[in-house]
């Protein structure tokens, strides 16, 4: 029973984090046409900054988290101005910039903190007990924050004016520009959202699991899978993909060994994409 | 989102056979004045990766972005290594065998994917590459799984020099073959498909067939390079053939210049050879690579080869103008 | 009969684009296909060349059933076409565009190509000569080294005709070949069409330009996917249905 609850909780948390990171990536691609491959690195460095603030500077956990988000989002604005805007719509050159950024960020982390795993001290302690079931507060809070943030983002994109403008740009760039939408402003907002959510995910995961300079790679590839499976330009598609992948991740290893499960998962994904190249709910890419 | 047409069209005029022969002679004579085995190791790796990078670009000329390419290098490597280690075949047989297996898998992948538009092909091939790696890890009794495969029989003994000459020969032959294809009617047909598949179909070009052909050839050479690598290194692991490896290949091609046959070669030398040579700087090496990447991407939109081509055309225009103004 | 369209129908979800369309084209004819915009003329071409699949009906070319054939197979059988939106090989030069279009005839086998045999070299020299001839014929020889993407509109259309000629078609489908052309260019295009007719190429022509239509042996009129009239140009001009289609009901009768 413990095991089932534990696995279930694990999958929920990991899925919500992956979706959070994937959302930022998808946002940047559909609005600015750039492949922000350094998104994983942003996620990673947030964890490290939070660790530094919490351990070295000794700030309170929540304050560290908040500060990290602010720092990373500001860094994101700089990124947008210097690295995204010059390569607007050019996915091959943005890829190169992204790799360059990844190299710089990862190397800096390896040099300053070394390659061993670190762990951010938990934000909350204690357990919740209900009869025979006990779940750590940490798990609950992590999931709660992740889910809450996702809901806020969904609300933002669907119900606010900037969100509407983002969707307009994603659907028809020229038309949106002609309507007078300020692309620079919207790009900036999108970048802040993307980097901010990656930062939150990075800090939470840094406490929940641990930190290493290359954790971003794994998260990025998961995010990539979600974006492709869910379909370009569809947030709901992303969610469905996240659920499907989470379910696969949870159930397959029960019946098969790790790598066989991966083979099955990949084959399923390929078949799905062959039958439906645009992903679950994506639009045709023009 | 359009896959940028992969040629700035120098139409092969830049290659002067004399210069190539000269370069070859210098390379052959290298062991006379360079003695460090470490340097030859780097040369060997460079030669191998040149084959992989150029074959990657060959597939790109047909309008497909094969984000599984490093995986096919792996297919060749593992097929050859396992055949040699467990079946006892000599590497001289298993290497062509590995190449053919890679080509076979490339055709199998090509068939269902050849009707997909460029973007979707790129995405699906990405997953296919991951499938290859997962499959290798799953069959770990033979492949050594995630830990890697050791004890692979090598081609020559301990010294790097025989390998060096072997790779010089191999790479030259492969480059010649790929160059020939690129500037022949087959290459023209590939580039036609990449630019407009409707127009290509209207003049009778069977898009699917030519795309599969491109996959087959690209994978053949990638597999060949991989198999050769396995029997050079003696050890292989899945990290060299995964998604990151393919992305690196793509970066080599983009930075070197996707429009030119020599782009990938320049990319490999700039981003693999030079950082390896600077190994003394240890942890700081990625900074150098990052610097090269950022410099190229900001100032050279068409890669190094693209810039070279532009300079060349600008130069020839200048000379032409000066000649006509002298004549008048 | 070279081309036979029998009860050709095409549905797009709820929309009927081509409705029970019948048409026969004899060898050597120059047939005009006219009708208001949106009548289904380009769709018809796309159905013939296999870009779209028929919902029902049958198309026969030279005795062969081409209903299910794909575009490159249709081209191989000898049907060439131009496109209205006129895509071309934008990174190739004009000359390369035409050379690339000589894919079918003469055809070098893969070994010939790879080993640069005498056969291959002969074929390629042949192709280059024929390409230059076509370009001369159509007046494009001065721009033969211009990149496709730098060509002005009229030249692109003429290049489309050049490309279609390289296929050495028995039947040529021209989709608005003079649209947006200057008067000089129209003369060039007309000259090319005349010469092709002399050589026995069968041509079906979609046009809005009546000057071009006047050359046709016969005209077929389409509206809302249906054939509403057929016959010599003068006869069709006076047909009530045709006038209604183009100008509205008040002008008829």
Q: Give the number of domains in chain B.
A: 1
CB B233 within 8 A of CB B152: yes
> Do the domain assignments include residue B222?
yes
Residue A276, φ and ψ in degrees, nearest 5: -140, 80
pLDDT at A286: 46
Residue B74 confidence class, pLDDT cut points 50, 70, 90: very high
pLDDT at B8: 45
Q: Does A101 touch chain B (CB under 8 A)?
A: yes
- Selected for mutation to probe chain B from C77, C91, C102, C150 (highest B CB count within 10 Å) is C91
CB B236 within 8 A of CB B143: no
Q: Does B244 touch chain A (CB under 8 A)?
A: yes
Residue of B nearest to A256 (CA): B138
Q: Which residues of C164-194 are buried (b: 16+ CB within 10 A; e: fewer)?
A: bbbbebbbbbbbbbbbebeeebbebbbebbe
Residue B215 confidence class, pLDDT cut points 50, 70, 90: very high
Check CB contact under 8 Å for A103 and B254: no
* pLDDT tens string B141-150: 888 877 788 8
State what percent of residues in chain B have pLDDT above 70. 94
C-beta atoms surrounding B292 within 10 Å? 18
Q: Where are the alpha helices (DSSP H) in chain B?
A: 17-33, 37-61, 69-87, 91-113, 118-138, 140-143, 161-182, 185-195, 197-202, 207-233, 243-256, 263-268, 274-277, 285-299, 303-327
List the structure tokens of C70. 């794909």
DSSP for residue C116: T
Give the residue from A244, A227, A217, A24 showing the smallest Cα distance to B122: A227
State what percent of residues in chain C have pLDDT above 90. 11
Task: Give the span between the Cα atoms of A252 and C63, in whole angstroms.
Answer: 56
pLDDT at A133: 63
Residues of chain B with C-beta less than 8 angstroms from the C-beta of A107: 283-284, 286-287, 290
**Residue A54 Cα, gap to closest chain B Cα (Å):** 26
What's chain B's average pLDDT?
A: 86
Across the interface, of B181, B196, B206, the residue whose CB is closest to C89 is: B196
Residues of chain C with C-beta less than 8 angstroms from the C-beta of B200: 72
Give the residue from A3, A23, A28, A10 showing the smallest Cα distance to A230: A23
C-beta atoms surrounding A56 within 10 Å? 8
Q: Is the pLDDT of residue B14 over 70?
A: no
> Do the domain assignments include residue B306?
no
* pLDDT tens string B117-138: 888 898 899 999 999 999 998 8
Residue that is last in its domain, among C127, C150, C173: C150
Looking at the fold, whether C161 and C137 belong to one and the same domain comes out as no
Can chain C be said to touch chain B, i.e. do they have 3 or more Cβ pairs within 8 angstroms? yes
Can chain A be said to touch chain B, i.e. do they have 3 or more Cβ pairs within 8 angstroms? yes
Compute the radius of gyration of chain A from its Cα atoms.
Answer: 19
Residue A266 Cα to chain centre, angstroms:
20
Q: What is the 3-state secondary structure (H, E, C) of A139-165?
A: HHHHHHHHHHHHHHHHHHHHHCHHHHH
Measure the CA dihedral B294/B296/B301/B306, to 10°: -160
Task: Give the span between the Cα atoms of C253 and C242, in whole angstroms.
Answer: 11
pTM: 0.88
What CATH number is attached to the domain comprising C46? 3.40.50.300
Looking at the fold, whether C45 and C76 belong to one and the same domain comes out as yes
Residue of C nearest to B208 (CA): C72
What ipTM does the predicted assembly reach?
Answer: 0.87
Task: Give the span between the Cα atoms of B262 and B58, in whole angstroms.
Answer: 11
- Per mean pLDDT, which range of A116-125, C38-47, C160-169, C208-217 is the poorest? A116-125
Task: Give the span between the Cα atoms of B271 and B250, in whole angstroms.
Answer: 11
> Do the domain assignments include residue B289?
no
Cα first-last separation, chain C: 35
Range of the domain at C18: 3-87+155-251
SS3 A47: helix
Looking at the fold, whether C162 and C235 belong to one and the same domain comes out as yes
pLDDT at C248: 64
Check CB contact under 8 Å for B298 and A257: no
Residue B92 Cα to chain centre, angstroms:
22
DSSP for residue B153: P
Measure the CA dihedral B148/B152/B155/B158, to 10°: 80
* pLDDT tens string B219-232: 999 999 999 999 99
SS3 A199: helix
- Selected for mutation to probe chain B from C42, C45, C50, C71 (highest B CB count within 10 Å) is C71
Across the interface, of C89, C124, C164, the residue whose CB is closest to B185 is: C124
Q: Does B137 touch chain A (CB under 8 A)?
A: yes
Check CB contact under 8 Å for C163 and B198: no
Cα first-last separation, chain B: 48
* pLDDT tens string B241-266: 988 899 999 999 999 988 889 999 99
pLDDT at B11: 55
pLDDT at A282: 66
Check CB contact under 8 Å for B205 and C83: no
Residues of chain B with C-beta less than 8 angstroms from the C-beta of A110: 283
Task: Give the span between the Cα atoms of B321 and B328, in whole angstroms.
Answer: 11
Looking at the fold, whether C159 and C196 belong to one and the same domain comes out as yes
Q: Is the pLDDT of residue B7 over 70?
A: no
Q: Does B300 touch chain A (CB under 8 A)?
A: no
Range of the domain at B50: 32-241
> Do the domain assignments include residue B75?
yes
> Do the domain assignments include residue B203?
yes
Q: Does A82 touch chain B (CB under 8 A)?
A: no
List the structure tokens of B199. 């127009």
Task: Give the span between the Cα atoms of A54 and A73, in whole angstroms.
Answer: 19
Task: Give the span between the Cα atoms of C148 and B282, in whole angstroms.
Answer: 49
> Do the domain assignments include residue B25?
no
Residues of chain B with C-beta less than 8 angstroms from the C-beta of C51: 198, 201
Q: Which residues of B110-132 are buried (b: 16+ CB within 10 A; e: fewer)?
A: beebbebebbbbbbbbbbbbbbb
Q: Does A285 touch chain B (CB under 8 A)?
A: yes
Question: Is the previous residue joined to A279 through a cis bond, with omega within 30 degrees of 0?
Answer: no
Residue C117, φ and ψ in degrees, nearest 5: -75, 170
Looking at the fold, whether C79 and C98 belong to one and the same domain comes out as no
Q: Does C72 touch chain B (CB under 8 A)?
A: yes
Q: Which residues of B228-238 are buried (b: 16+ CB within 10 A; e: fewer)?
A: bbbbbbeebbb
**Residue B112 Cα, gap to closest chain A Cα (Å):** 8
Check CB contact under 8 Å for A259 and B131: no
CB B279 within 8 A of CB B289: no
Across the interface, of C72, C124, C167, the residue whose CB is closest to B206 is: C72
Compute the radius of gyration of chain B from its Cα atoms.
Answer: 20
List the structure tokens of A173. 């760039």
pLDDT at B191: 92
Residue B215 Cα to chain centre, angstroms:
13
- Selected for mutation to probe chain B from A100, A215, A218, A275 (highest B CB count within 10 Å) is A100
Give me the helix-helix angle, A183-208 and A61-79, nearest 10°: 140
Q: Is the pLDDT of residue C252 over 70?
A: no
Say which residue the tokens 């048409």 belong to.
C23
Choice between B327 and A237, residue whose per-residue pLDDT is larger: A237
Looking at the fold, whether C57 and C171 belong to one and the same domain comes out as yes
> Quick one: A214 exposed, middle or buried, by C-beta within 10 A (0-12, 13-18, 19+)?
middle
Residues of chain A with C-beta less than 8 angstroms from the C-beta of B111: none
Q: Is the pLDDT of residue B170 over 80?
A: yes
Q: Is the pLDDT of residue B6 over 70?
A: no
pLDDT at B1: 38
Domains of chain A, start order: 2-275 (1.10.3470)
What's chain C's average pLDDT?
A: 85
Q: Does C150 touch chain B (CB under 8 A)?
A: no
Looking at the fold, whether C96 and C57 belong to one and the same domain comes out as no
**Residue B170 Cα, gap to closest chain C Cα (Å):** 18
Looking at the fold, whether C50 and C168 belong to one and the same domain comes out as yes
Q: Does A151 touch chain B (CB under 8 A)?
A: no
- C-contacting chains (≥3 CB pairs under 8 Å): B
SS3 B310: helix
pLDDT at C114: 81
Q: Does A263 touch chain B (CB under 8 A)?
A: yes
Residues of chain C with C-beta less than 8 angstroms from the C-beta of B198: 51, 71, 83, 87
CB B239 within 8 A of CB B289: no
Check CB contact under 8 Å for A269 and B251: no
Looking at the fold, whether C28 and C120 belong to one and the same domain comes out as no
Q: Give the number of domains in chain C.
A: 2
Count chain B–chain C contacts defined by CB atoms under 8 A: 87
Q: Does A97 touch chain B (CB under 8 A)?
A: yes
DSSP for residue A257: -
Across the interface, of B135, B244, B294, the residue whose CB is closest to A97 is: B294
Task: Give the span between the Cα atoms of A8 and A11, in whole angstroms.
Answer: 5
Task: Give the span between the Cα atoms of A97 and A94, in whole angstroms.
Answer: 5
Average pLDDT over residues B294-302: 87
pLDDT at B229: 94
- Selected for mutation to probe chain C from B204, B258, B259 (highest C CB count within 10 Å) is B204
> Do the domain assignments include residue B11?
no
Q: Does C83 touch chain B (CB under 8 A)?
A: yes
DSSP for residue B85: H
pLDDT at B252: 92
Task: Give the span between the Cα atoms of C206 and A157, in whole angstroms.
Answer: 47
SS3 A259: helix
Residue of B nearest to A285 (CA): B1
Q: How many residues does chain A have?
A: 286
Q: How far is CA C174 from CA A256, B144, C204, C223, in A?
A: 59, 61, 6, 19
* pLDDT tens string B174-210: 999 999 999 888 999 999 999 988 899 999 899 999 9
Task: Give the span between the Cα atoms of C110 and B99, in whole angstroms.
Answer: 20
Task: Give the span between the Cα atoms of C139 and B31, in whole angstroms.
Answer: 58
Q: Is the dihedral of CA A256, A262, A265, A266 positive or negative?
A: negative
Residues of chain A with C-beta less than 8 angstroms from the C-beta of B142: none
Across the interface, of A93, A228, A274, the residue whose CB is closest to B297 is: A93
Residues of chain B with C-beta less than 8 angstroms from the C-beta of A79: none
pLDDT by residue, tens only, chain A of 286 residues? 667 777 777 778 888 888 888 888 888 888 877 888 889 889 988 888 888 887 777 777 778 888 888 999 999 999 888 888 888 877 788 888 888 888 888 888 888 877 777 776 666 665 666 655 666 777 777 888 888 888 888 888 888 888 888 888 877 777 888 888 888 888 888 899 999 999 988 888 887 777 888 788 888 888 888 888 877 666 777 888 888 887 777 777 777 777 788 888 889 888 888 888 777 766 655 4
- Per mean pLDDT, which range of A158-172, B19-33, B34-48, C233-247 is the poorest? C233-247
- A-contacting chains (≥3 CB pairs under 8 Å): B
pLDDT at A187: 87
Looking at the fold, whether C83 and C94 belong to one and the same domain comes out as no
pLDDT at A284: 59
Looking at the fold, whether C12 and C131 belong to one and the same domain comes out as no
Q: Does C241 touch chain B (CB under 8 A)?
A: no
Give the residue from A80, A115, A55, A61 showing the smallest Cα distance to A195: A80
* pLDDT tens string C209-226: 888 888 888 898 888 888
Looking at the fold, whether C245 and C138 belong to one and the same domain comes out as no
Residues of chain C with C-beta less than 8 angstroms from the C-beta of B206: 72
Q: Does A262 touch chain B (CB under 8 A)?
A: yes
- Selected for mutation to probe chain B from C73, C103, C161 (highest B CB count within 10 Å) is C103
């Amino acid at each position: 029973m413990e095991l089932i609850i534990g696995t279930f909780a694990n999958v929920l948390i990991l899925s919500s984090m992956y979706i959070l990171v994937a959302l930022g990536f998808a946002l940047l691609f559909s609005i600015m046409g750039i492949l922000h491959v350094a998104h994983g690195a942003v996620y990673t460095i947030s964890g490290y900054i939070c660790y530094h603030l919490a351990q070295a500077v000794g700030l309170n956990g929540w304050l560290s988290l908040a500060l990290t988000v602010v720092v990373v989002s500001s860094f994101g604005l700089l990124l947008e101005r210097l690295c995204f805007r010059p390569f607007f719509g050019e996915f091959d050159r943005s890829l190169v910039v992204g790799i360059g950024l990844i190299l710089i960020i990862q190397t800096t982390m390896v040099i300053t903190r070394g390659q061993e795993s670190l762990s951010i001290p938990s934000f909350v302690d204690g357990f919740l007990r209900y009869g025979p079931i006990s779940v750590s507060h940490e798990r609950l809070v992590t999931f709660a924050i992740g889910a809450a943030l996702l809901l806020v983002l969904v609300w933002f994109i669907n119900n606010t004016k900037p969100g509407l403008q983002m969707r307009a740009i994603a659907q028809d760039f020229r038309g949106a520009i002609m309507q007078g939408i300020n692309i620079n402003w919207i790009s900036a907002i999108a970048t802040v959202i993307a980097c901010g959510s990656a930062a939150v995910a990075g800090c939470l995961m840094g406490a929940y699991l641990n930190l290493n300079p290359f954790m971003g790679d794994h998260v990025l590839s998961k995010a990539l899978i979600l974006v492709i499976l869910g379909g370009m330009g569809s947030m709901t598609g992303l969610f469905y993909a996240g659920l499907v992948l989470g379910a696969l991740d949870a159930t397959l290893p029960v019946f098969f060994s790790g790598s066989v499960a991966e083979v099955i998962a990949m084959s399923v994904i390929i078949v799905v994409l062959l039958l439906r190249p645009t992903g679950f709910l994506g639009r045709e890419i023009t | 989102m359009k896959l940028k047409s992969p040629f700035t069209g120098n139409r092969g005029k830049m290659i002067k056979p004399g210069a190539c022969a000269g370069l070859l002679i210098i390379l052959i004579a290298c062991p006379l004045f360079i003695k460090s085995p470490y340097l030859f190791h780097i040369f060997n790796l460079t030669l191998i990766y040149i084959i992989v990078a150029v074959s990657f670009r060959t597939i790109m000329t047909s309008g497909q972005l094969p984000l599984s390419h490093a995986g096919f290098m792996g297919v060749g490597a593992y097929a050859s290594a396992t055949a040699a280690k467990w079946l006892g075949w000599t590497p001289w047989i298993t290497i062509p065998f590995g190449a053919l297996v890679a080509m076979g898998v490339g055709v199998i992948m090509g068939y269902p994917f050849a009707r997909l538009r460029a973007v979707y092909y790129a995405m699906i091939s990405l997953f296919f590459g991951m499938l290859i790696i997962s499959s290798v890890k799953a069959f770990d009794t033979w492949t050594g799984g995630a830990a890697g495969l050791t004890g692979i029989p090598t081609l020559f003994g301990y010294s790097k020099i025989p390998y060096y000459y072997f790779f010089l020969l191999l790479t030259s032959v492969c480059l010649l073959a790929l160059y020939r294809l690129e500037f022949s009617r087959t290459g023209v047909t590939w580039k036609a498909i990449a630019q407009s598949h409707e127009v290509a179909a209207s003049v009778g070009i069977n898009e699917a067939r030519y795309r599969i052909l491109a996959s087959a050839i690209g994978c053949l050479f990638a597999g060949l390079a991989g198999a050769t690598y396995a029997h050079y290194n003696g050890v292989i692991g899945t990290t060299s053939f995964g998604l990151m490896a393919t992305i690196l290949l793509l970066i080599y091609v983009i930075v070197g210049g996707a429009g030119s046959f020599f782009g990938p070669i320049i990319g490999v030398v700039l981003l693999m050879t030079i950082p390896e040579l600077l190994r003394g700087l240890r942890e700081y090496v990625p900074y150098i690579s990052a610097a090269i990447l950022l410099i190229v991407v900001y100032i050279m939109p068409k890669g190094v080869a693209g810039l070279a081509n532009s300079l060349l055309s600008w130069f020839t225009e200048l000379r032409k103008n000066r000649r006509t103004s002298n004549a008048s | 009969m070279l081309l036979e369209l029998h009860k050709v129908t095409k549905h797009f979800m709820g929309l009927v684009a081509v409705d029970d369309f019948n048409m026969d084209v004899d060898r050597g004819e120059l047939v005009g296909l006219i009708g208001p915009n949106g009548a289904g003329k380009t769709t018809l071409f796309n159905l013939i060349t296999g870009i779209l699949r028929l919902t029902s009906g049958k198309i026969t070319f030279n005795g062969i059933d081409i209903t299910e054939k794909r575009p490159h197979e249709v081209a191989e059988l000898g049907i060439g076409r131009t496109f209205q939106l006129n895509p071309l090989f934008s990174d190739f030069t004009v000359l390369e565009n035409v050379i690339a279009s000589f894919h079918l005839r003469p055809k070098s086998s893969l070994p010939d190509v790879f080993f640069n045999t005498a056969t291959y070299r002969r074929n390629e020299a042949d192709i280059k000569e024929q390409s230059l001839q076509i370009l001369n014929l159509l007046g494009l020889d001065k721009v033969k080294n211009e990149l496709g993407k730098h060509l002005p509109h009229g030249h692109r259309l003429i290049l489309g005709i050049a490309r279609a000629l390289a296929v050495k078609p028995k039947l040529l489908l021209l989709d608005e070949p003079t649209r947006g052309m200057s008067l000089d260019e129209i003369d060039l295009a007309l000259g090319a069409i005349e010469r092709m007719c002399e050589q026995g190429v069968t041509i079906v022509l979609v046009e809005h330009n009546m000057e071009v239509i006047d050359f046709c042996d016969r005209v077929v009129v389409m509206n809302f996917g249906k054939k509403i009239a057929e016959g010599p140009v003068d006869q069709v001009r006076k047909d009530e249905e045709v006038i209604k289609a183009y100008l509205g009901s008040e002008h008829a009768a």
